Homo-oligomer: A and B are copies of this chain.
Amino acid sequence: MYFHHVYPAAVPVLKQRRSRLQHALLGTPAVVSAGAPPSRNYPANLYEFRATSHFLYLVGIPLVDAVLVLADGRAELFVPPMAPDDPLWHGEQPGLDEIQAVTGVDRVRVLPELPAHVATLGPAGRLPLVAAAQRTPADEQLIEAILALRLCHDDFAVHELRRAAAVTVRAHAAGHQAARSGASVASVRAAMEQPILEADFTTAYSSIVTVRGEVLHNFARSGCCQAGELLLADVGAESDSGWASDVTRTWPVSGQLSPSQRAMYELVLAAQKAAIATVRPGIRYRDVHRTACRVLAAGLRDEGLLTGEVDSLVERGAHALFFPHGVGHLLGLDVHDMEDFGDRAGYAPGRSRSSQFGLCYLRLDRDLAPGMAVTIEPGLYFVPAILNSEALTAPFRDVLRRDALPRFADVRGIRIEDDVLVTASGHEVLTAAIPKEVADIHR
């Protein structure tokens, strides 16, 4: 057990978060575990450790196998006892007093004392979540209290989101430089991840760097960039304290967009700007999504890919033939923040996912509030699995103009994604320093 990033300034923040959580829990205890790194095939080869987000939110530092217990107004942290040969393999370890100092908990104890301590408490809410069938009322209460706490970020969290965004700016600049004709896709990804590693940050998710942007979750990295192709890069840094960024840019490998690529690119950019412009406290996120859909549907009609009236096209979901996913999601300690709670994080009580193709993939439908962070990431894709699907296209036979499709063969997929913080007066784009204007793309 060790930690190497400590922010002493965070202790008051951590105390406040734990205090607010205990107030919301009305006396119900909470037991929050940090988890352990999964092993890669055999026990001694571990993936890089990433503590659970709820633990990081409340304790601030990743401590393998540690457990936070909140009860009776106190915060006690249980950590694994030092093994005799830990100092040999892992160096001098922080003492219990040092851990207490940097976390601000009331007491640090060793894990073997946990069961007896928990036995003295009433039924406690537990995180990570146990399987739905095993969940108790205390677990449910803890979910609700955490949601109330984490949906809107405090100043320290925003500070960390900005740090993650700043490194992501460098990653995308490096990618822009590296994306030349003949460069391997893997080398572009390597160039983008280098500033992230240099900062001693990690990637917040598996990077997507591909010239086949129409494959939405394309983690393959074989092949080379060719002049005439678009390179889609969905790469975000996670700060050393665990806060995420999530940014997509799409560049022409040659530095020049073809007319068809330019038309689709400007359309996605217009949709993204229009969606961002609507972000403010009180707006329903599904309406942010709809704003993007309307811009896209209008543009697809103007470009001859769809026919008909825009509101009707959007209502029927015709735009989803080209924009099948949602316009974004919550962002925080997780890239899809609190998605471990399923749609209880993204969907306000009483709201649930649509069954309509496209809208069914929307991960967020809450009324936005100051301190929330979201991504705004519309895209346009020419996905064979959609356009060749009888089931998906049949309802739109009257509005889909197949004859126009060949004209856009060099587009494949375009997505433009930024991280947006909801402020008291509107919004702030945390990743605004990453160029996305066509004028900036034409180098």
Contacts and interface: CB of A to CB of B under 8 A. Distances in A.
The list of the 4 closest CB pairs from A to B, nearest first, reads A87-B385, A91-B215, A190-B197, A38-B38
Contact of A186 (B44, B197, B205, B340): B197
A322 to B, nearest CB: 12
Contacts of A198: 184, 186-187, 190
Contacts of A218: 90-91
Given A186-B200, A200-B186, A339 B42 contact: yes
Contacts of A324: 88
Interface string A24-41: 000000000000001011
Contact of A222 (B197, B200, B336): B200
Contacts of A156: none
A443 interface: no
A335 interface: yes
Contacts of A52: 41
B38 A53 contact: no
19 contacts: A4-B222, A5-B222, A38-B38, A42-B336, A42-B338, A43-B339, A48-B206, A88-B385, A90-B215, A90-B216, A91-B215, A91-B385, A92-B385, A186-B198, A186-B199, A186-B200, A187-B198, A189-B197, A193-B194
A45 interface: yes
Nearest to A391: B84
Contacts of A336: 42, 44-45
A314 B320 CA distance: 72
In this complex, the interface size class of chain A, counting residues with CB under 8 Å from chain B, is 35 or more
A222 B4 CA distance: 7
A190 B191 CA distance: 10
Nearest to A50: B40
Nearest to A389: B87
A384 B206 contact: no
A89 interface: yes
Nearest to A384: B92
